[in-house]
Amino acid sequence: MTAQQYFDELDAQLTRLSPEERQEATAFYREYAQEAGLMDYEALAERFGSSKALAAQIYAEAAEKTISGETGKPHIGRGFLMALAAVFSLPVALPMLIVPAALLFALLVTVGSLVISLGATLLGLGVTAVALFVKSFGFLVPFAPVLLLKSLGGALVLGAITVFAVAALYAATRWALRHLTILMTQYAKRRSNHE
């Protein structure tokens, strides 16, 4: 088998990358192989591992670059997807992949349900704040300034709590997704180095 077949297999594994990223990655490893004198499939597989293992490593590196902002603005969602691609590109037996996939799915469902429940709570707080704000103007008719100020103050406090909680939830979600991405890329790199 030839080096061209190895790089064709690698290129086929990197379909989740943009065409520019794919071309850059394969060009880097082609140049490296030429400089090192690796001209056949077996020599490349011995140096880099299987094409699947190398693809997993490339996906992991792409995820790290994406979340760190080396390729422009940091994009955690794209980095997370690249990390998933890295983990699922690893050349492992199907039974060994089922357990991490099930754990990842359970983690995502748990986090998703927490985010939805917190979102519903925040929505309730926001609706209560708006209702209290509107109700406070009802006290203008009989002109009860004390009740007006109490209701208006309560509405503003609830509104501030809602805004703060939404900002905190957003920051916590970004932090968790970033760290999960880092863990998955480290796992993919370790596994691809052992192949």
Residues 83 and 164 placed together within one structural domain of the fold: no
CA proximity to 67, closest of 50, 95, 86: 86
CB atoms within 10 A of CB 159: 17
Spatial separation of the C-alpha atoms in residues 108 and 194, rounded to whole Å: 27
Residues 48 and 118 in one domain: no
Single out the residue in 91, 120, 143 at which a domain terminates. Answer: 91
CA-to-CA separations, 190 to 27, 75, 138, in angstroms, rounded: 23, 23, 65
Rounded CA separation 189/191 (Å): 5
pLDDT of residue 193: 66
Residue 25 has a pLDDT of 85
Domain boundaries, position 164? 96-194
Domain check: are 58 and 123 in the same one?
no
Q: What does the block give as tokens for 151?
A: 């209701």
Q: What integer pLDDT is reported at residue 113 of this predicted model?
A: 92
Average pLDDT of adjacent 10-residue blocks, the chain of 195 residues: 82 84 86 83 83 84 81 76 77 66 84 88 87 76 73 83 88 86 81 64
Distance CA 1, CA 10 (A): 14
In total, how many domains does the chain have? Answer: 2
End position of a domain, from candidates 75, 91, 107: 91
